Amino acid sequence: DAKTTQPNSMESNEEEPVHLPCNHSTISGTDYIHWYRQLPSQGPEYVIHGLTSNVNNRMASLAIAEDRKSSTLILHRATLRDAAVYYCILRDVWRDDKIIFGKGTRLHILP
C-alpha cells in the first residue's frame, strides 16, 4: 500500500465541522482513497472512499485534491460519538486485497 501521512491528533468542538487531512503524494492512478475509523473498544468501521471526485454519504464527505496528492475527510457536525481514530488508507483496487492500517488521527471532541 502507498504511504499516507496524517496528523497524530486533532481536537474539535461538538456540533462544529471537522476537517481531517491526509497527504498521499505517491498515490498511483489506480489507488482509491479509503477512510476507516475506530471508535473506542470497537473494530474498525468503514467511513467513505473515493477515486477522483468528491464523495458524500450519510457519515461524511471526502474532498479530494485535483492532483490527488491529498484529501480531507469532512464531518459536517461532530458529535461526541465521532471521537475515534480515523485512518486514511490507499487501496489499489486491482492488487490490494487487505487493508494496512497506519497510526491514523485521534480525533477528540470537546463538549
Partner 1 sequence: EPEVTQTPSHQVTQMGQEVILRCVPISNHLYFYWYRQILGQKVEFLVSFYNNEISEKSEIFDDQFSVERPDGSNFTLKIRSTKLEDSAMYFCASRREYSGNTIYFGEGSWLTVV
Positions touching partner 1 (CB under 8 A) are 32, 38, 41-46, 49, 91, 93-103
Q: Reduce the DSSP state of residue 89 to 3 states and report it.
A: strand
CB of 111 to partner 1, least distance (A): 25
DSSP secondary-structure letter at 50?
A: E
Residue with Cβ nearer partner 1 (14 or 102)? 102
Provide the minimum distance between the beta carbon of 99 and partner 1 in the complex, in angstroms, as a whole number. Answer: 6
Backbone phi, psi, residue 81, to 5°: -70, -15
Residue 25: closest CA among 74, 90, 86: 90
- In whole angstroms, the minimum distance from the beta carbon of 86 to partner 1 comes to 13
Q: Which is nearer to partner 1, 19 or 103 (CB)?
A: 103
Which is nearer to partner 1, 11 or 45 (by Cβ)? 45
H or E segment at 9?
strand 9-13
